[in-house]
Amino acid sequence: MSRNVRNIAIGAAALSLPLALLATNSAAVYGPGNGWGKSAPLIERSSAGQVDEHAGARRITRDQTQVIADSVRKNSAKNVILVIGDGMGDSEITIARNYLEGAGGSLKGIDSLPLTGQMTHYSVDRETGKPDYVADSAATGTAWATGTKTYDNAISVDRHGAPQQSVLQWAKKTGRATGNVSTSEIQDATPAVLYSHMSLRACKGPVATSKTCSAEALENGGPGSISEQLLDTRPDVTLGGGSAFYEEVAQAGKFKGKTLAEQARERGFQYYTDKADLASIKKADQKSPVLALFAPNNLPVKFAPLVAAKGGAALPAAECQPEPAFSDVPALGEMTSKAIDLLTKNKDGRKNGFFLQVESASIDKKDHSADVCGQIGETQQMDEAVQEALEFAKRDGNTMVIVTADHAHTSMIVDGGTPGHDAHLNTADGSEMIVTYGTSARPGGMQHTGAQVRVAGYGPGAANIVGLIDQTDLFFTMRDGMKNWSKVHPPQKSKPAKKSERSNNRR
């Protein structure tokens, strides 16, 4: 069956189904003693029928009051999963939805969360502290990771250079399991803000740090490169790319002269670099944390490039093709599922809960390159990761899921050719769509933009993202949700030593 015929058939079949607000998979009830005791309030957002008929384009077919009420019953979250689409503004979501599902369709993860808001994401000038309205991923990541605005290129330090504790470091300190997953180098800005503090995001390994960030270099008494700081912070689960930096050699300290990969193994990390290794990992904890890096740098993307060009709107409409190298690495949804599995089996995770961040990094990277298919494929990866997070959260009942972007980006849907770089696509519903990129004279130089971005939430505590929030609010929403859980369910204290053991300890 052709793509267009298939989608028409699906649309026709939808007319014969009950017009339900709730997604078909939302009937599952939380387990005994877990969650709110209500059906999971995920929302089906696809159109009711054929979009060219009366009421056919409606996405809401009955009152939502009870659904929203069910979504705000509780503010204490045992677990928090934050899913970031790097550069995934409203335009990028719409482009992916139109191409993958059609105008009346919906993304099964991103669009199903019941609570939504808008988020500001500016950075600040390093010298004056005044707003910088178009931020980079380092400053934006620092904002949600620490609750502190900073300057572009800074990794979890304030504009004066003072380190700021991240939500992952706080979660670890309070007895929780922690995880960090990305399709980029794990040393890239978005994952790095959780475990390192650096004046310049480019100082990923010892070589660059010694040259460019000398104050932070290990040989000068600093904390070391971003890669070295990861080994010190010691998250339970780290999955992504960036193995090239672990082939660099430490310049000082106990492991001087050894590669960071050798150091990781000597410090108890389970260090992996092959896709086949992922399935074999059975546990991850502080005794043997997992550091799995599946590519020397960023992971390959899902779709082969289709780069917008001058006059591209006049070219025949195209469809995205698979990227062959993508099969060499695990998909983001697969890594997300594995991280959740490992963190829930972790002793600290079972007892006190966990914090996990997941990033689809190359929405941004392909938007910079005006690569519309690369961008769409990574938004699809993002959506698949959100589905994995929500599937777990529905079963668990005590998990907050937040889905958002770090900043907005360039791509826009337009009605015809532009002075910029255009791409012409066939969409899932048999229509055509023109996407343009116009913030640079060359396809590889497209810029971030400063428009507010969407934020969506699910689960206990997620009501705090509703309305207009700032990026720094995410830190407090996530931390306080976990704090509230601790007040209701305090971490178990270790038993006091027996009298004989105390006597022995004094000898």
Which residues are annotated as catalytic? 137
Which residues share a beta bridge with 293?
240
CA separation for the pair 229, 225 (Å, rounded): 6
Amino acid at 445: G
Phi, psi angle pair for 445, to nearest 5°: -120, 25
Comparing C-alpha atoms, which of 152, 196, 158, 219 is closest to residue 447? 152
CA distance 266 to 260: 10
Structure tokens at 8: 């028409």
Exposure letters 65-85 (e unless 16+ CB within 10 A, then b): eebeebbbebbbbbbbbbbbb
Helical axes 471-488 vs 137-146, angle rounded to 10°: 30
Q: Helix (H, G, I), strand (E, B), or coil: what is residue 177?
A: strand
Beta-sheet pairing, 412-414 with 123-124:
unpaired
What is the Cα–Cα distance from 95 to 82, expressed in whole angstroms? 22
Token output for 378: 């990574």
Three-state DSSP class for 356? strand
Rounded Cα–Cα distance for residues 416 and 421 (Å): 11
The answer to whether 219 and 181 have CB atoms below 8 angstroms apart is no
Q: Do residues 11 and 53 make contact, with C-beta atoms less than 8 angstroms apart?
A: no
- Is 403 in a helix, a strand, or coil? strand
